[in-house]
Structure 1
Amino acid sequence: MAEFSQNRGKRRDGEVLGGAVDFLLANARLVLGVGGAAVLGIATLAVKRLIDRATSPRDEEDAKRDSTCLEDSWQELGLLKATPRLQPQPRPAALSQPVPPPAPSPSAPEGPADADPPTSPQLCSPAPSMCLTFQEKLLAFERDHVTMPVAHVALAKQLAGDIALELQAYLRNKFPELPFGALVPGGPLYDGLQAGAADPVRLLVPLALEPGLWGLVPGVDTVARDPRCWAVRRTQLEFHPRGSSPWDRFLVGGYLSSRVLLGLLRQALTASVNWPAIGSLLGCLIRPRVASEELLLEVQHECLDFPVAVLLAIAGAQAGGLLLAWPLEGLAGNFWLQDWYPAEAAQLRALDERDAGTRRRLLLLLCGVCRGHPALGRLGRGPLTQVVLHLGEQEADWGEEALGERFLQALELLIGSLERASLPCRFSRGVNLLDGLREEDVDNMGCALYWGLRAPEGLL
């Protein structure tokens, strides 16, 4: 009986609070306007949900609804498509004026003249010179966390080039029968797209395939039905039987297997190459990252640490660029992943040169912000580059003074893509760059991006 009375009391309290929320929503439009009322409505809806859950008996159906609360919350928040502002719009005086502190009691003794003033909850000093705009904070974040010192860039390039020469000599001595091409370092570090030292240097290990003996098959035309990849098929077997090519030893079902080649190179990098001796010669420490599915080398110098990604590559004109040996899963495990990075970098460079724009700087900022965020870390360079390319072709101001506004537009576009769980690749419309994300990851990213859009300083 006491429990029933307690629940009834909680329910009555919830009705009172719910009525107050409804009254607030009914009058919000008069004070805040349509846009402000929409924001307030979404926020108070979440509060009412908390009240309902706190004042209602829980059952199995309620527990199931709670498990999807986060997903519902950010998706409803994403329905609001209000244009973001770099500076918050002033609210009406009745809501924006601070409550004046109570007058001191006449009997209260005055404090000493040199007493420290109370701590103010304001975000910045009242002095105008101390208040930074979001644009200024964004540029400061770029300076402190994104831009690499010129000396570090030069050192990383020198070490990557030396490692390429050493690894090339090893492969030719270890596998003289396999026609590997010249190893070429490249990637974001060489294209001005390096956001800090976390992005790996790309060290391409090209395979020289015999013309006429190999053909490319699109992944959508194979049993894998995967538009991201291509199969490399052995051809002309009636005139050049199996064994005529040194790469025939890596065939699986008539196709050149990226998985078998990756296993061969992984074994060499982790067990055969004398990295301590090479590192001592180059004045650094080099260690293969054994736990990674990719072929990564960790390079540590006294003033710089950076990874090197060793990538087996095939040049395919039919595929429109490079094909990489990549640890794909399922039926596509023996296929080759199409590499869009060269095309992405070239298009960004061409767009920026057209109007002296800052699209590449925007990409670096997005990479730097997402990499350091617990929920956004899985948004890699690929999806972020596609977002910038989509924005980059719009007729807009791409000068430095508009960098903050373009940043917020990129957040809006990402939120919309996550709502639809779809971000098509600009170079292959059948590829959804968000396919590899779990629903939980999508929900967490959407929620983080929404609140980042409302208060972007919190992302920096």
Structure 2
Amino acid sequence: MLFSVETLLLCLAELSQPIPLPSPEPQRCDTEPLQRRKRMDLCVLTFVERLQQYYRTRVCLSAEEVSVSQQRALEIATEIQAFLHSKHPDMPLGDMTLAGSLLDDLQVVKADHTCLIVPLQLESSLWTPIAGEDTFLGHPQYCMVRRENLEYFPRGRSYWDRHLLGGYLSSRLVSEQLGKTVMESMNWPLLTGTLECEVRPVLGSPELKLEIQGLTKSSYDSGESFYITVLPTVRLGEMTLTAQREITGSFDYVWYQSLYTSETARLAALDKADSGVRRKCLKTLKAVCRNCPSLRKLNGSHLSNVILHMSEKETDWSESAFADRFQQAVTELIGYLEMGILPSYFKPNVSLFQGFTEDDIDEMGFMLYCAVTEPEILLI
């Protein structure tokens, strides 16, 4: 079929018109979840770089955050000490001090807790610490404090005789007295107004614990809390014992021998000797376990002991070996979980996994096993 000249001209005119482009879709807001962006960021880095980035951005606390937390905790400790001295002037107590990971540069993710050591002054001639191995419980960390020389120095000679239970100093009775004085008698609303942060006792807990809100404006807005655990402490000879009923349970006369100070000092000494990264590795593992729900039951004591055991056979703890030691620690943890036993470095007869159920061990083991081939999953 032939087209007329008019038809051809009309077609050419239509073809000469610009073809309309499809209207662009309205630009969408960046609603990509934060977790997905983190995964994409991790994909462009080597594992060594990812681990270093994780340490800088997710593990370490800012100097300002640590300073503010320590200062507020110290102010509260000063108020508690002054109140105790005024309420019980005859109670022989030493100077109270703050202690724990916040003071030792081992706290990670956020500054949210510390301990207040309340030292009981006991007469060394009247009181003797009994090592856990020598008690009927046979637990190396469950110790007792026995009253001596009652025939020559009868009951009442020592202030602490009022807390005797069956011839032994009762951690429960000591905790109860301090609890009634500090938790129930102090004027917390007045202290809140003085310190410009909200301070209140945590009721219904076996621990003597205080909750502080509003250390900083950001923490107040986010509802984050800072906790101070009050620890009655006995030092006799080379033994340091604390009243921690949340650990010792229903044994009213048992005192807990914490190994935290020994473990921390040993790690620091080893790192100082070879400029090592044991503490850096420990802090990174602590942050990983804190951020991963499946691993939250692994605490600083578990991880410190894994690294201490590793240090017995591993010599290279240089900065360049940081990623290797981190992955090695994951592998070592899997081995201990498979055995169901993690021996304490300083008391090998103690398994630090006691109290874990089979389900706990399976859950942690599975997560760590997956991380052997894909370690990046621990850094998300």
TM-score (norm 2): 0.83
Task: Report the counterpart of residue 301 of structure 2 in structure 1.
Answer: 382
Task: Report the counterpart of residue 196 of structure 2 in structure 1.
Answer: 283
Instruction: Assess, with a 3 A threshold, how the Cα gap between structure 1 residues 452 and 198 changes in structure 2: closer, same or farther.
Output: farther
Task: Report the counterpart of residue 275 of structure 2 in structure 1.
Answer: 356
Q: Give 1:145's aligned amino acid.
A: R
In 2, the alpha carbon distance for the partners of 1:223 and 1:290 equals 32
Structure 2, unaligned runs of 5 or more: 1-20, 28-35, 220-224
SS at match of 2:228: strand
SS at match of 2:86: helix
Task: Report the counterpart of residue 270 of structure 1 in structure 2.
Answer: 183
In 2, the alpha carbon distance for the partners of 1:198 and 1:434 equals 26
In 2, the alpha carbon distance for the partners of 1:159 and 1:124 equals 39
SS at match of 2:130: strand
Give 1:371's match in structure 2, choosing from 290, 294, 317.
290
Tell me whether 1:216 sits opposite 2:129 in the alignment: yes
Query: More deviation in 291-300 or 377-386?
Result: 291-300
In 2, the alpha carbon distance for the partners of 1:137 and 1:130 equals 9
In 2, the alpha carbon distance for the partners of 1:164 and 1:331 equals 28
Contact 1:134 1:457 in 2 (8 A): yes
Deviation digits for residues 332-358 of structure 1 (CA, Å, limit 9, x no counterpart): 442111021111111111111111111
% identical equivalent positions: 41
Q: How does 1:116-265 map to 2 (within 5 A)?
A: 131-197=44-110, 200-265=113-178
Indicate the RMSD between aligned Cα atoms, in angstroms.
Answer: 2.5
CA shift, 1:146, in A, is 1.4
In 1, the alpha carbon distance for the partners of 2:40 and 2:125 equals 68
CA shift, 1:124, in A, is 5.3
Instruction: Assess, with a 3 A threshold, how the Cα gap between structure 1 residues 216 and 371 changes in structure 2: closer, same or farther.
Output: same
CA shift, 1:208, in A, is 0.2
Instruction: Assess, with a 3 A threshold, how the Cα gap between structure 1 residues 219 and 283 changes in structure 2: closer, same or farther.
Output: same
Q: Give 2:147's aligned amino acid.
A: R
Structure 1, unaligned runs of 5 or more: 1-110
Q: Give 1:203's aligned amino acid.
A: L
In 2, the alpha carbon distance for the partners of 1:317 and 1:248 equals 20
Contact 2:142 2:248 in 1 (8 A): no
Contact 1:275 1:286 in 2 (8 A): yes
SS at match of 2:348: strand
In 1, the alpha carbon distance for the partners of 2:43 and 2:174 equals 58
CA shift, 1:442, in A, is 1.3
SS at match of 2:371: helix
Task: Report the counterpart of residue 10 of structure 2 in structure 1.
Answer: none
Tell me whether 1:442 sits opposite 2:361 in the alignment: yes
SS at match of 1:230: strand
Contact 1:351 1:393 in 2 (8 A): no
Contact 2:66 2:111 in 1 (8 A): no
CA shift, 1:371, in A, is 1.2
Tell me whether 1:430 sits opposite 2:349 in the alignment: yes
Tell me whether 1:302 sits opposite 2:222 in the alignment: no
Q: Give 2:189's aligned amino acid.
A: P
Tell me whether 1:391 sits opposite 2:310 in the alignment: yes
SS at match of 1:362: helix
In 1, the alpha carbon distance for the partners of 2:244 and 2:55 equals 32
Q: Give 1:443's aligned amino acid.
A: D
Query: More deviation in 350-359 or 390-399?
Result: 390-399
CA shift, 1:190, in A, is 1.7
Task: Report the counterpart of residue 33 of structure 1 in structure 2.
Answer: none
Count of residue pairs the alignment pairs up: 341
Task: Report the counterpart of residue 21 of structure 1 in structure 2.
Answer: none
Instruction: Assess, with a 3 A threshold, how the Cα gap between structure 1 residues 236 and 423 changes in structure 2: closer, same or farther.
Output: same
Deviation digits for residues 173-229 of structure 1 (CA, Å, limit 9, x no counterpart): 122221111111122122211113355212100000012000111222222222112
Contact 1:423 1:433 in 2 (8 A): yes
Contact 2:102 2:111 in 1 (8 A): no
Deviation digits for residues 81-117 of structure 1 (CA, Å, limit 9, x no counterpart): xxxxxxxxxxxxxxxxxxxxxxxxxxxxxx99x999x
SS at match of 1:397: coil
Instruction: Assess, with a 3 A threshold, how the Cα gap between structure 1 residues 459 and 394 changes in structure 2: closer, same or farther.
Output: same
TM-score (norm 1): 0.69
Q: Give 1:367's aligned amino acid.
A: K
Task: Report the counterpart of residue 457 of structure 1 in structure 2.
Answer: 376
